[in-house]
Structure 1
């Protein structure tokens, strides 16, 4: 255990605080999904993750208490309604869990890079192992159930080639037509369609059970944004004669009773939006067609504007917990 004299750094406090927010949210989501699932295998996957995350949340609490740090509010039992009917069906629970683990894998890498105390690094190393295991199990489960669509197949290369013209970057070949997508670009587009399909289903369920009119309107707006992005990515694939579908077999039920608080639902969409901006940036960096980079940049801008409006809405309703702040030296001097 870290001695109180060996205080954690500001970056470690910030990442642990954010990790607490995210993990308590996932625990509440799992509370509901575990309660509603009828599949023993899905319950086993989610139950194991619940136990692991609860263990690491307790470790963060112990560390904060040892350092004299106030425990964040995060998300509690008050944010989930286990009596609400099933809002999602046909494997959506594991599909959504897989997306959450994608986000977690990236976050733990960043958090570990900002850690200095051994105990803090141990937390992120342990969470990384848990996340990679659950991601693999979730993927295998979804493929076995026929719910998850894999990326398109491709003829395997039998020789090495090098780019011979700058036209490759502009998206055109020597004959004036747009060149075929490379496998990296197809992977980026596939991932964009896959994640937006899950996001569309998630936010559709949120929209039909939200009670606050402006929150409902915000979720409906998110549905349209997801549809726009899916169409953008699918059109790019069709231009290369790639017929492709990443739609899942999961469904949204007709229930209008909210399983989660609006605070939780808004923060959940905020978390996915942040992941969406990072994914768009990734696509901009690694694609070698300028038109794709431009599309990815437009997508990132749309997500940013939508995310910013969501933050203002959460602040308005008192749903956005404030992260730990650095000392305001100017204010202290004035006092």
Structure 2
């Protein structure tokens, strides 16, 4: 039974707010994509994803109203120029939805783990199921069309083994041989190559369509960092003679027409960066070769500095919507004393 008399916890408030902001942003990215998609196999998946985002926003608004919870501003029709020229190829749209579904599955899993109330858990569980379906459908179509690269192939293990030396964990000493990367490390290296490829294309698309110099410079810096990180991961695999499959041809047009608001694209990049930082942390904890762990930590710091400069830009132009929080009790007390 759904007990709506139970107050929302801080975890549920945070999760609902984040879900609304993310779906709000996705809705208008997808709406623009739908206008120009010609591939009749890809369009239904984009349409379904758009419908899910729109429905989620409606359901969230209903929850907010029932809880007397201020509905976030998020994004509106004003944040997308539907008259702008086409920007993303059909292939990019499919790859984008597949990539964002990965981000969404992680997010919804986190929301569920931070929720207690039955109706809120049910809502996020439905979101997770829909996002998982989107991922599976987009992956299946990409494989069918030959536009989705698989992870590198390695020899299937014929027996089990145990680590017999601490040298297995080493990798920082330039004068000693490193062991070859293992399957777990390969999978994370390649996953981070793919995510950086999508991120670099998004940065370029946003840079060429923004009219704000601060945003343009920020996006170009983000593109350079993504390409730099891709090269580091590719070189690591190639040093061990691991073939790196070609990443999908996620092309964008040469349009310079303002398409999305600077507020939306800066929020989007913040979401991408947060996801990327999480990927690096997971990869670092899963990798057993010390040089890989150090690399992920070093690159994470570079990404966090980029995120900080992005937040500074958003604050400068009043684009950073503040998450729900608690009152500063000391400030309230001091103001009371003054009165």
TM-score by structure 2 length?
0.95
Secondary structure in structure 1 of the residue aligned to 2:42: helix
Q: 1:232-243 residue pairs with structure 2 within 5 A?
A: 232-243=232-243
Residues 55 and 267 (structure 1 numbering): CA distance in 2 closer, same or farther, change over 3 Å?
A: same
Do residues 180 (structure 1) and 180 (structure 2) align? yes
User: Could you tell which deviates more after superposition, 319-328 or 278-287?
Assistant: 319-328
**Matched residue, 2:275:** 275
Q: Are the aligned partners of 1:84 and 1:258 in contact in 2 as well (CA < 8 Å)?
A: yes
Q: CA deviation at 1:90?
A: 4.2
Secondary structure in structure 2 of the residue aligned to 1:250: coil
**Matched residue, 1:170:** 170
Distance, in Å, in 2 between the alignment partners of 1:291 and 1:186 is 14
**Matched residue, 2:58:** 58
User: How big is each residue's C-alpha offset from its partner over 1:107-135, in whole Å with a ceiling of 9 and x where there is no partner?
Assistant: 11111111111111011100000010000
**Matched residue, 2:40:** 40
Q: CA deviation at 1:3?
A: 6.8
Computed over aligned residues only, the root mean square deviation of the Cα atoms, in angstroms, reads 1.7
Q: Are the aligned partners of 1:149 and 1:247 in contact in 2 as well (CA < 8 Å)?
A: yes
User: How big is each residue's C-alpha offset from its partner over 1:41-96, in whole Å with a ceiling of 9 and x where there is no partner?
Assistant: 21111111222222221111111101111111101111111111111214101111
Q: Are the aligned partners of 2:3 and 2:118 in contact in 1 as well (CA < 8 Å)?
A: no
Distance, in Å, in 2 between the alignment partners of 1:90 and 1:53 is 20
Q: 1:106-117 residue pairs with structure 2 within 5 A?
A: 106-117=106-117
**Matched residue, 1:148:** 148
Q: Are the aligned partners of 1:172 and 1:179 in contact in 2 as well (CA < 8 Å)?
A: no
Distance, in Å, in 1 between the alignment partners of 2:283 and 2:68 is 42
**Matched residue, 1:252:** 252
Distance, in Å, in 2 between the alignment partners of 1:306 and 1:172 is 26
**Structure 1 regions of 5+ residues with no counterpart?**
none
Do residues 70 (structure 1) and 88 (structure 2) align? no
Distance, in Å, in 1 between the alignment partners of 2:199 and 2:58 is 29
Report how many residues are paired. 334
Q: CA deviation at 1:172?
A: 8.9
Secondary structure in structure 1 of the residue aligned to 2:81: coil
**Matched residue, 1:230:** 230
**Matched residue, 1:325:** 325
Distance, in Å, in 2 between the alignment partners of 1:11 and 1:196 is 30
Q: Are the aligned partners of 1:105 and 1:131 in contact in 2 as well (CA < 8 Å)?
A: yes
Secondary structure in structure 2 of the residue aligned to 1:304: helix
Distance, in Å, in 1 between the alignment partners of 2:251 and 2:142 is 14
Q: Are the aligned partners of 2:39 and 2:90 in contact in 1 as well (CA < 8 Å)?
A: no
Distance, in Å, in 2 between the alignment partners of 1:168 and 1:326 is 48
**Matched residue, 2:311:** 311
Q: Are the aligned partners of 1:147 and 1:250 in contact in 2 as well (CA < 8 Å)?
A: no
**Matched residue, 1:126:** 126
Distance, in Å, in 1 between the alignment partners of 2:302 and 2:308 is 10
List, as ranges, runs of 4+ consecutive aligned residues in structure 1 with deviation greater than 3 Å: 1-5
**Matched residue, 2:220:** 220
Distance, in Å, in 2 between the alignment partners of 1:91 and 1:224 is 22
Q: CA deviation at 1:97?
A: 1.0
**Matched residue, 1:189:** 189
**Matched residue, 1:296:** 296
**Structure 2 regions of 5+ residues with no counterpart?**
none
Distance, in Å, in 1 between the alignment partners of 2:150 and 2:116 is 39
Distance, in Å, in 1 between the alignment partners of 2:14 and 2:246 is 36
Distance, in Å, in 1 between the alignment partners of 2:331 and 2:122 is 37
Distance, in Å, in 2 between the alignment partners of 1:2 and 1:72 is 24
Distance, in Å, in 1 between the alignment partners of 2:41 and 2:121 is 31
